Every structure is written in structure tokens, then in C-alpha cells.
Amino acid sequence: MAYIKNWANNEKLNKTEVAKLEKDGLRILDDIPYYAENGFESIPKEQWDLFKWAGLYLQRPKEAGYFMMRVNIPSGILTKPQVDTLAGVARDYGRGVFDITTRQAVQFHWLEISQIPDIFKRLEAVGLSSAGACGDITRTIVGNPIAGLDPEELFDTTSIVQEVYNFFQKNEDFSNLPRKYKMSISANTKNASNAEINCVSFTPAVKLIDGEKRNGFHLKVGGGLSSRPFLAETVDVFVDPTRTLEVAIAVTTIFRDHGYREKRHLARLKFLIADWGVEKFKEKLLEYTGPLPSKGEEPVQQWNAGYFYGVHDQKQAGLKFLGFNVPVGRLDAEEVFEIARISELYGNGEVRTCNSQNLIIPNIPTKNVPALLAEPIFKRISISPHSFIGHAVSCTGIEYCNLALVETKERMRLVAEELDQRISLDVPIRIHMVGCPNSCGQRQIADIGLQGMKLRNSNKEMVEAFEIYVGGTLNAGGQFNQKLKGKVAADELTDVLEELLIFFLNEKVAGESFFDFVGRVGLETLQEVLDTILGKETYGVSI
């Protein structure tokens, strides 16, 4: 259907909005064959940003002409042909690099414009797409990676996620949103989809209607991270699963038609919700949907942060799903081919990605589990990883990203592996490292968040460094971590973290989580500890 761009006459529109009025972002898909045939030099610079709508970013440095591609994986569910296809793209075009993102997507690097049409053809042949994976549009839908298998899910959300994803995919009625737009749909009771940090989330709920207990969703809106993070708020409605798409369309329409388009840094849905409040938002929502029941109860358990390590019973008798650690989400193409082979040999070929940057192999008959685990690849991609590497998350970093200030991916891996050699704890600590304030690595919800920056060391040289944040969670509605004053040079980060963690080890009570510890001892105490660490002569840091 056509819609009216009621913002078109606003004289204060930012430059991106003006450009989008002239050409819809999805139209770049029409141009790519020409650019592929005529080379990178044929692409006007003013068209570079439009490639986001095709799921493509120019990687660092832009002028070199190499692209990063993000492929949508709704709910993280992949078939054997899809896994093989993705592995083939990484091998043939991406120098073997295969990254799992914090939104269950797959990311490639080193792609050239001449290769993109063939990659699109390969993806389309197995039902995959990169369209809308970036840009001011509905991104891939995060969901429950064990949907349909989960003994504790209220209901299977697989078909719902696919229906909503298919509706928005390449839909030009919703391809000109004020800013990126992130959605999650999950009936997992442990909040595997990180609902509170999405623009809009459908979360498990139950309600008594006409004397009958109904399973459905609650609706959360206005979450998001970056430099001004917000936790999503719950709207007072109960959504029957059959109305999920209808409600998703209504929320997206409100954002499209009423979201802010003057300043890019204030354009996310979270800013509209912060200004309107959820009551006004609900009133507007009901104008589109008609009456919706008031909210019910939320059958929530402890947040699992998207971690599923180990061997678990599926709801299907005699079948198991196995959760594996992929260190900081990075695989090489040959490993992915091997995982695909194993998933088919011992199961039905499915592989699932998690927003913790890990993977799951489901539908394994109980008798096949020992043989699967004996495969050599699972020495690195472990079902029972060491604690720090098993709970380490990293963004792409300066290796490929134009926004990053520091190297992250390999550094986070090395820091975590070294901490595993030095410290043993009775509870896991989630450490997330990000290369800039945009926080693709979701620094704000980590036990310990590390945000990259630059500083001058004692020799007046600019070096990579990090700020430390402590105490993030998405339990009980969520709480973002808080910054400790001080900046740590990158080459001293592991030692500083070790001393901070030794203080935790010595002062904690048995079984106490890091989040609870931060709440008990207080930020001021931890600041004093860090000040003492940074004050030692062995650390050449700037505060």
C-alpha cells in the first residue's frame, strides 16, 4: 500500500532524511548489478550509505572498496543447506571469516562489489537474505534459539517470527523508518532474546480471559543501547499470538509516521517513547489495532543471557540439543562446513545461532550424543568452555569497522583466555568489549563492560585504552552497568581486570553473582579498589 510521508515538508530534516525522500534505501538493490559489472569506482560516494539497506557496509578503510555483509537469521534457525551456503560464501569470497553477531545474524568481510550478485543468488536459493540487515529499516528478528524445542517455552514462536520477518522483508512501506529498528519475538521464559534492549519486543505472558488461561505476549517498547541507552517499557496490553503481525505493523507504523527525523542521534524509537510515555503510546497503538486486553502475568525465570551450554532435553522425547561456545563468535569457513556435516550426521542438519555469539546443534538422538562430542572440532568449540572465554562477547572492532576506535575481537579472546589461566571463580562473569559508544557488543548489560577509546600515555603517545563499567543485567526489568572512573591502556587491561577480580574473589560470599556483589559493596568501594590498582607505579595509565 502507498503511504503519505507526512514529514516530507519539514525544513529541518537531516541530510539522510532528505536523501531518503529522493531515493528509497531498498532501491540500491536495483543498482548493484550495474556497480558489480562496472567496479567499485562506478559507485558515487553519495550512494555508499544506501548499501546498508542491502545488508552491506563498507569496511575500514572505505576507499579500499571491501564490504562487510550481514545476513538475517530470524530466531537464529538455520538448515543444513543454509549453513553450507553461508560457509561457502565465507570460503569463496570472505577470506574464510564467519562471525556470529549479538543479534543471531551472520557477518562476512572482505567482499567485493563484483561478487555481490552471486552471493545474493546463493542466499536466495536457500531462503536467506541480507536485505534490511542494516539501514533505517526493520532488522532481523531476534528470537528464542531453541524455539520449538524448548521444554519451558509457552509456545513455539518459529512460524510467528517467520511471518513477521517475511512481511517486513523488502517492504517499501516500511523501508524508510527514522532510524534502525530492532525487534524480538520470543516465548522463552528466561529472556533469551534480551527483550529490554530492543526497540520492540514480544515477550511471554499468560492471561485469564473468559475463565480460560491464554498464552500470548506482552509488548515492550523503547529499548536500545548506544551512547544513550534505554530499557524497554511494558505497554499495558496482552497480545494473542494470532495478532502478533498486526501489532508489529501498528508499532512500526507509529514509529515511521511519528518518529523523529531532524537529528539522527535522537531518531530511535526509544526517544519517542521517552517523550510520549507508554500510556500515550498505548492510546495511539489502539487507534490502529482496536481494543486489546490489558496485560496479564509474566512467567519469567532467571535471565540466561542467551547461554545454553551443555546437553539438554528437548520437548521431543529422545532428542537433545547441545550448546557450544564459539570464542567471541568467530569461526572459519572450514569449521562451519564441519559443523554442518556433523549436524546432519548425528541430527537433522539444523544449526542455531545465539545472541551470545554461540551456537546450538539440535535434534540429536540421545544415543548419538557421545559420538558427536568426540568429533575433533569440539575441542575448540567447546560444550563446557572455561568461564571467562565462555562468557566473553565482542563487537567487530577496528579490524573492519569504521566507527571503532580500538581493536576488540582478538583482544577480548586473549584477555578472556588469560584470565581463565589466572583466576577460578564459582560463578560466571560476563565480559563484553566494544570498540565505540554504539555498543554493538552490548556493553551496558554486561557484568563487566569494556568500552574502547584513545588516550595519551606517560610518553605522550596516543594508545588504545578502555573504560570499565560494572553491574549490568536484564534480570527484573534490567539495569545498565555503571562507569568506574579511570582509563586503562589496552596492554595493561588483563592485569587490571585480574586485580579487580581478585578483590571480588576475596570479598564475595559463596555463590554470590558479580551483579549482586556490586550491589552489596557499592560502586564507591569498587572505585576505591580501581583507584588503588591504577595508582600503582606498574601501570602507566591516564585518569
Q: What is the pLDDT of residues 69-101, one digit of tens each?
A: 999 999 999 999 999 999 999 999 999 999 999
Catalytic residue among 20, 52, 60, 70: 70
Is 435 marked active-site?
yes
- 75: cell is 530466531
- pLDDT > 70 fraction of the chain, expressed in percent and rounded: 98
Catalytic residue among 180, 220, 270, 352: 180
Whole-number average pLDDT of the chain: 96
Whether the full predicted model's pTM is greater than 0.85, yes or no, is yes
Q: pLDDT band at 160, cuts 50/70/90?
A: very high
Q: Are 222 and 178 in contact (CB under 8 A)?
A: no
pLDDT, tens only, 173-223: 999 999 999 999 999 999 999 999 999 999 999 999 999 999 999 999 999
| Pure H helices in 207-305 | 244-258, 269-276, 278-289
pLDDT score for 341: 98
Catalytic residue among 441, 472, 478, 486: 441
Its sign, for the CA torsion 534, 535, 540, 542, is positive
Please tell me the distance from the alpha carbon of residue 359 to that of residue 352, in angstroms, as a whole number.
5
Domains and CATH numbers, the chain: 15-289 (3.30.413.10), 310-385 (3.30.70.3340), 389-535 (3.30.413.10)
Q: Is the pLDDT of residue 282 over 70?
A: yes
Is 256 marked active-site?
no
pLDDT, tens only, 476-523: 999 999 999 999 999 999 999 999 999 999 999 999 999 999 999 999
Is 259 marked active-site?
no
Question: For the residues 345-374, what does the mean pLDDT come to?
Answer: 98
Catalytic residue among 20, 179, 182, 270: 179
Q: Is the pLDDT of residue 355 over 80?
A: yes
pLDDT, tens only, 407-423: 999 999 999 999 999 99
pLDDT score for 1: 55
pLDDT, tens only, 266-276: 999 999 999 99
**Which amino acid makes up residue 457?**
N
Task: Give which of 77, 262, 219, 191 is closest to 445, Cα–Cα.
Answer: 191
Is 180 marked active-site?
yes
Give per-residue burial for 389-428: e unless 16+ CB within 10 Å, then b.
bbbbbbbbbbbbbeebbbbbbebbbebbebbbeebeeebb
Q: pLDDT band at 537, cuts 50/70/90?
A: very low
Catalytic residue among 135, 223, 323, 435: 435
CB atoms under 10 Å from CB of 282, counted, come to: 18
Q: pLDDT band at 136, cuts 50/70/90?
A: very high
pLDDT score for 540: 47
Question: For the residues 158-166, what does the mean pLDDT come to?
Answer: 98
Catalytic residue among 440, 443, 449, 452: 440
pLDDT, tens only, 297-314: 999 999 999 999 999 999
